[in-house]
Amino acid sequence: MLQGCVPWPEEAAARYRAAGYWRGEVLGGLTAETAKSDPGRIAIVAGGRRHTYAEVNERADRLAAGLHALGVRAGDRVVVQLPNSVEFVVLCLALFRLGAPPVLALPAHRRSEIGYLCSLTEAVAYVCPDVVQGFDYREMAREIGRDAPGLRHVLVAGDPAGFRSLDEVAEAVPAELPAPDPGEVAFFLLSGGTTGLPKLIPRTHDDYAFQIRATAEAMGFDENGVYLAALPIAHNAALGCPGVLGALRAGGTAVLAGSPSPDEVFPLIAREGVTLTTLMPAFLPLWLDLADLFDVDLSNLVIEVGGAKLQPEIAARVRPELGATLTHWFGMAEGLLCFTRPQDPPEAPVHTQGRPLCPDDEMRVVDEDGRDVPAGAVGELIARGPCLLRGYYRAPEYNERAFTPDGYLRTGDLVSLTERGELVVEGRIKDVVNRGGEKVPAEEVEEHLLAHPAVRDVAVVAVPDRALGEKTCAVVVAAAGAEPPTLGGLRDFVQARGLAEYKLPDRLRFVDALPRTSIGKIDKVTLRRRFADRADPAQRR
């Protein structure tokens, strides 16, 4: 396995193979079979264009050859930051074929995150779009390039402005390439639940092929299925649950949208006959309120909702008001998936996040000392299984804390299990703000805020928000003698340091000193409680 990754113990790997979870499938081959048996079938619909299996498959072959000609080799890492587009999918297939794992950054990431990913992974290439929503990724690439000596190529989808055009690389003549080992890392996902700087999750061909196959089966998604990707496909939820990759593996169609906003997706759902999609809970009220304005029949649609707390009263409205089938998900990029099945009774997704994907997913609920809590009680969820990593990439010290000695991931989520083994998410102990499904690592933001001359001390905590569930509040101890910082000033400051916009603080509160626990850690429980109801005066009306 790629250096810096932690393999599963041989005993577990043998068990997962014997049980038929890991079948030696490689992700580069996802489109190959359908491209041969039914070349004219539509694989991807994006930006109003339809792309056949034959086209997508051939473009991936050409791009793999072109990247190889540039010197990209098996084991090299490539940071990929593209919006939902056919280029994104073709590039991933090409890199899977080469065995050069893409590191999937989110479109919202900026200099701080991308620069860090490039240096952590010693990436040989960074692939970005030209300009999206007024943001010029090429300018950012120029800045990053200065600090990343190992970065040999910047490839641009669109106008390359002095860099190399991705399209041009994709003009190469397809070449025979050795198939990668299915036990190898196929790509890296970013963790949404770790502390400090972003952590990388290695996903192998074997484990992800199992995830997309088994989730497709559970959702009843086959070659007649049409999956709508309305969330960024760099995120596990839209990439592979079964997502775009699962849709391609099944021989179905993936429709790529730029956002889950009703005016964009409802016409697409109607026109393309979408059967499955994924949403974060924050968008569901909008769908419920606006669906009537669009003449769209959702009775054949299954919606997967997860990533953040879904309010039961919103969940209960889905079937009666939209006519669609709701499935409720607890997912992690780390590889644990629990969800209610479409055929479960309608009340199941209202109250629980369902059962794990795999019968061999081992989930335990433990107390602070790591002892199993009594049945039904709340504790931290720890888990291991055929999709669950055994270590973050190049993070040996962090891994010591993040995993138990026998390989269970400490999820940092507080849960309980129902008598029937269904998961109920009850809270969280990890220091993350879940901002409508986008995860903001508090420590990472605190470090940037601490660099501000008017900030002596700071704690970033979650405060309740009606629309997003949670927002980010910076609790600041102002530096003596300095003009106290303003929220706008702090946001500009952190943004200028290259942090993604969704991580900028939403609120600012001042204290004379941060409360500490008996062992000297910042007492965030007290801070959260103290500022919860004062966060948004509009909410109290």
Judged by the rule CB under 6 A, the positions of this chain that interact with ligand OOB are 192-193, 236-237, 241, 306-310, 329-333, 353, 411, 413, 425, 428, 434, 437, 439
The single-letter code of the amino acid at 253 is: T
Residue with tokens 């299925």: 225
Distance, in Å, from the CA atom of 472 to the CA atom of 438, rounded to the nearest integer, reads: 11
Distance, in Å, from the CA atom of 314 to the CA atom of 299, rounded to the nearest integer, reads: 18
Q: Which residues of 295-313 are buried (b: 16+ CB within 10 A; e: fewer)?
A: ebebeebbbbbbbbbbeee
Token pair for residue 136?
A: 């010029």
**Taking each helix axis from N to C terminus, what angle separates 487-496 and 442-450, rounded to the nearest 10 degrees?**
100
The single-letter code of the amino acid at 297 is: D
Q: How far is the CB of 423 from ligand OOB (least distance, A)?
A: 9
Residue number, 13 or 429, with CB nearest to ligand OOB: 429
Residue number, 145 or 464, with CB nearest to ligand OOB: 464
Residue number, 142 or 351, with CB nearest to ligand OOB: 351
Q: How far is the CB of 460 from ligand OOB (least distance, A)?
A: 16
Q: How far is the CB of 285 from ligand OOB (least distance, A)?
A: 16
Pairing status of strand 125-129 against strand 153-157 = parallel
Q: How far is the CB of 520 from ligand OOB (least distance, A)?
A: 26
**Nearest CA to 438 among 494, 500, 497, 380?**
500
Q: How far is the CB of 292 from ligand OOB (least distance, A)?
A: 27
Q: How far is the CB of 243 from ligand OOB (least distance, A)?
A: 9
Strand ranges in 429-529 using DSSP code E only, listed in sequence order: 432-435, 438-441, 455-465, 469-478, 507-510
Q: How far is the CB of 453 from ligand OOB (least distance, A)?
A: 33
Residue number, 54 or 108, with CB nearest to ligand OOB: 108
Q: How far is the CB of 378 from ligand OOB (least distance, A)?
A: 14
Q: In what order do the strands lie in the sheet with 164-165?
A: 164-165, 153-157, 125-129, 78-80, 102-104, 185-190, 200-204
Residue number, 204 or 353, with CB nearest to ligand OOB: 353
The single-letter code of the amino acid at 185 is: V
CA dihedral sign, ordered 102, 107, 108, 112: positive
Residues whose CB falls within 8 Å of the CB of residue 396, separated by 6 or more in sequence, listed in order: none
Q: How far is the CB of 33 from ligand OOB (least distance, A)?
A: 26
16: phi > 0 → left, psi -120 to 50 → alpha, else beta; which? alpha
Residue number, 52 or 434, with CB nearest to ligand OOB: 434
Distance, in Å, from the CA atom of 396 to the CA atom of 440, rounded to the nearest integer, reads: 22
SS in 3 state form for 162-185?
CCEEHHHHCCCCCCCCCCCCCCCE
Token pair for residue 412?
A: 């940092």
- Report which secondary-structure segment, H or E, holds 95: helix 86-98
CA angle 121, 235, 211 (to 5 degrees): 95
Residue number, 125 or 189, with CB nearest to ligand OOB: 189
Token pair for residue 531?
A: 């500022």
Alpha-carbon torsion angle 315, 268, 135, 122, nearest 10: 80
Question: Closest residue (Cβ) to ligand OOB?
Answer: 331
Residue number, 180 or 331, with CB nearest to ligand OOB: 331
Q: How far is the CB of 192 from ligand OOB (least distance, A)?
A: 3
User: What's the DSSP call for residue 522?
Assistant: B
Residue number, 55 or 334, with CB nearest to ligand OOB: 334
Residue number, 246 or 407, with CB nearest to ligand OOB: 246
Residue number, 144 or 237, with CB nearest to ligand OOB: 237
Q: How far is the CB of 467 from ligand OOB (least distance, A)?
A: 16
